[in-house]
Amino acid sequence: MRFSRFILAATLAATGALAAETPIQLKDAPGRTVVENNCAVCHSLDYIRTNAPFLNRQGWTAEVNKMINAYAAPIQKADADAIIDYLAANYGTK
């Protein structure tokens, strides 16, 4: 009985936490849709904002290539280029 109450309490707490989440809004600029359509399939778009303070164009290029080569993200070359351009312009360091 105690265990059942614990499971119920944990479920309710988790449900409340998920309900409080707000969608990640990326900067409105050319390429945003390509980023949303390709990147959000595998991970939260918050990943972009979390890494933005550390990555310049070269860093974003490496990240996109890692997603394609190491994690087998099905991103076409033209989309990869658009993603890198968007991330470097809007979330990259100088």
Q: Could you report the per-residue pLDDT of 42-79, keeping only the tens digit for each? A: 999 999 999 999 999 999 999 999 999 999 999 999 99
Query: Where do the structural domains in the chain lie, given as residue ranges?
Result: 23-91
pTM over 0.85: no
Q: Are 32 and 26 in contact (CB under 8 A)?
A: yes
pLDDT at 13: 63
Q: Could you report the per-residue pLDDT of 7-48, keeping only the tens digit for each? A: 666 666 655 555 556 788 999 999 999 999 999 999 999 999
Angle, CA of 22, 12 and 45, to the nearest 5°: 25
pLDDT at 9: 64
pLDDT at 73: 96
Query: Can you name the CATH fold of 23-91?
Result: Cytochrome Bc1 Complex; Chain D, domain 2 (1.10.760)
Tokens 């959000």 appear where? 40
